[in-house]
Amino acid sequence: MSADEASLPTLYEYYTEGGISSSLEAPATGFKLNGKDITIFSGAVHYFRVHSHYWRDRLRKLRAAGLNTVETYIPWNLHETEEGVFDFGNGSREFSAFLDFRSYIKIAQEEDLFVIIRPGPYICSEWDFGGLPSWLLRNPGIKVRTSDPNFTSRVRKYLDQLLPHFVDLQFSKGGSIIAFQIENEYGGFGEVGHPRDKEYLRFIKTTFEQNGLVELFVTSDTPRLSGDSGALPGVLQTANFNTAPESELNALKELQPDKAVMVMEFWSGWFDHWMEGSHQTGLTKELFEEHLEVIFNFNASINVYMFHGGTSFGFMNGANSIPIFPYYAPDVSSYDYDAPLSEAGDYTEKYRILEKVISKYNKVLTRLPNKPEESKKFAYRTMNITQFLEMDDIIEKIDKEDKVFSDSIISMESLNINNGNGQSYGFINYRKNVTLCSNSCLKITGHVRDIVMLSLDGKRKTGKLTSIADLLGFGYWPNR
């Protein structure tokens, strides 16, 4: 860092000089924070997709690129894995270390960054069930993401536990949070042409307010597809897209000509599905730079989704419904997203492009940190496998209370285990003892919704999955 750079104010010194008198505002001329002009240069880094050991490293790399804000979702299904049992980083589970979002937000402020929070309750994010907890499905009539009291009563209990954690971390209280998003891409939910449940959106907004959230509220959708169907009066609409930036931003301006313009999700890359055969990039490096130029020439603010994708650990990867074979497309655990910062936290060409374009359009110069070094990579040594467990060995080790006897097949969420919360992830071993005479035919009816591996007398009968074509065989979901 040169002497001139060292003499620049920090972001917080610049925007809080003389005290804090106002929060983030969005007039047509552009955003203002504490009365001063600000272009939001934000990047998405999800705390739950990065081990806490690396939080500071990733956030410092984001700030070093010239960005001034970090954005993150909050996944309900990690923070309330069992109904009424909450974990905000103080639990005893293996994953609790990932869940202390208050520490994450404080580290962001220490690294001279503002924060945008997207609490959902639905987050999409290529995350299992969009972040909704699986135990909701134990109520067979529940209508999620609607004003159905079966759903909103549970949302309210969760948000009443979650939202107070953000109150003292808001910018107007001396913290780093400058905005909150209401729900997520709600204009794209439900049937085309069907009116959205605005009562549900108003319920979320009211719950935010009653829990002390006072910073700017926003919604996000793709303007040309959803219009204002996922919006609320008085709440800033923002845009999500990766192509046709001029058309999308013009559509957004038509929807709200008297407001500042922001792209809440500028998709820097894309996510991978199992069996696709190649890594998805979404945008070439050339288009990435070209679209950034268009956005900033529009006097728009931006959140690069993702800046650093990280990893969807365990069984938390989501899936997409697609109109062609194989109809259901599960996402891989890597959420690299072809983002400016790789899954391993390394700098990429898109990082250098983003750094260059931001320096060109950033009108408020503040002090930036030196870029942290990339981590050293090494290979684990080869190990010989000397023992293994067979299926019967594993079944034998399952606790008695996790073995359920029933006359019919029960879905994992409906099993009376885990303190009445069912099973969220993993595998179920269904067993039935039958006596067959010679030339008997075993008939299985129903529609496989996932994967079934059938064994008879200990011998596997389901074909092995070696290519996408094998999905047409018995035991896989596309087989109608």
Residues labelled as active-site residues: 185, 265
Burial class of residue 101 (count of CB atoms within 10 Å of its CB; 0-12, 13-18, 19+): buried
Place of tokens 């087989």: 479
CB 303 within 8 A of CB 42: yes
The closest of 224, 154, 227 to 186, measured between CA atoms, is: 227
Task: Give yes or no for a cis peptide into 306 (omega within 30° of 0).
Answer: yes
Q: Which is it for the CA torsion 130, 318, 83, 407, positive or negative?
A: positive
Cα atoms in the 13 Å half-sphere on the side-chain side of 38: 26
User: For residue 425, with 0-12 CB atoms within 10 Å meaning exposed, 13-18 middle and 19 or more buried, which class applies?
Assistant: exposed
Distance from the first to the final alpha carbon of the chain: 63
User: Exposure string (b/e) for 28-46, b if CB count within 10 Å is 16 or more?
Assistant: eebbbbbeeebbbbbbbbb
Sequence-distant (≥ 6) Cβ neighbours of residue 115 within 8 angstroms: 69, 70, 71, 72, 105, 108, 109, 169, 176, 177, 178
Chain centre distance of CA 242: 17
Quote the CA–CA distance of 336 and 269 in Å, as a whole number: 9
- Which residue, among 108, 119, 116, 113, has the nearest Cα to 164 in the 3D structure? 119
* 3-state percent helix, strand, coil for the chain, nearest multiple of 5: 30, 15, 50
CA count, 13 A, side-chain hemisphere, 26: 22
